[in-house]
Amino acid sequence: MYVAMNDLLQDAHKNNYAVMAVNSINMEMVRAVISAAEEERSPIIINIGPGQMKKHADPEIMVPMIKKLAHHAKVPVALNLDHGSDLDFIIKCIQLGFSSVMIDASSFEFEENIKRCSIISALAHAHNITVEGELGHVGQANAGDNHQIDLYTNPEQAKEFVERTGIDALAVAIGTAHGNYPKEFIPKLDFERLALLKKTLDMPLVLHGGSGSGPENIKKAVANGINKINVCTDAFTAGKTAMVKAMEANPNIDYLDLNIAAEVGMKQFVRDYIQLIGSKDRYYYGEVMVVEHE
C-alpha cells in the first residue's frame, strides 16, 4: 500500500496520534521499518534526505525497492523527501515517484520561504504528492540551536504561512534539534506553544529531531498535536548497537549475519517507537468472526 503521506497524516490529525518517519538508507533499514509497521498494524513513513542519497542511498535504486516493498505491505507506506532545498533535486524526486516532499526553506526570510514552498506545492500537488514545509528553524543539537527561542515557530505567522503556501503539513520548532544532544541531556520543549499552534492551524504538525528527546517529551508532544515524528539518529544507533553486540558475541560473524542482526535491532526499535506514539493497531481490521449455522 504505497500512499500519499497526507492520507496518513490527516487520519493521525483527526484521531490524535503520530506516524513515525524513519530515515532509511539501505534495504535492511527499509525492510526493518516496513515489517515493524506491519507487525504493529501501523502506518509508516520512509524518509530519505538529499545528503543521504548523494552519499549512499541512490534514489534510482531505493525508490523502486521501497515502492515494491510498500505494495506488498498490509499497511500504508509513504516515501518522503526529507529536507529538500534544491529545486532541481526536489523535481527529480517528484519524477522518481516519491509520495511526499519536504521543502525546507526555513533558513530564509519569511517571504522567500513562502515563495519557495508555494512553487513546490504547485508542482507536487499536480501529481497528488504531499508537501511539508517548515517555519521557525529546527537546527543542530551540537550547536545548541534548541535553546534559541527566536528560532521557534510563531503561531500567528504560521497561519499566514500555511494559507499562502498551501502546504499539507508543517514542521514546527518547539525546542528539538537534529543529531545527538550532549550525554544525558533531555531538551525542554515548549508545549504551550505547540498547543497554540495546533489550535491556530488545525492541521498535521511535524516534529523534527525526535531522536534523544526522551519518551515523556515524545508522548506529550503527540498529546499536544504532533502527527509526524522524524527519527534518524536513534534508528541508526539501534542498527549500530545491534551489530556491535553481534560482533562481541561472535567475533567471527560473517557479513550476512551482521546485516541480519542490524535489521532485527532496528525493527524492534521501530516497533517500540510505534507503540510510544499511538499508531499501533490503527490498521487492524479486527478478529475474524466465525458464525455457526444450525
- Residues with catalytic function: 82
Contacts of 276 (CB under 8 A, 6+ apart): 215, 218, 219
- Provide φ and ψ at 114, rounded to 5°: -60, -45
Q: Per residue in 4-19, is it b (16+ CB within 10 Å) or e — as a string?
A: bbbebbbbbbeeebbb
Nine-digit cell at 21? 518517519
C-alpha cell at 236: 541508526
> What's the per-residue H, E or C state across 98-132?
CCEEEECCCCCCHHHHHHHHHHHHHHHHCCCCEEE
| Eight-class DSSP state of 192 | H
> What SS3 class is residue 250?
coil
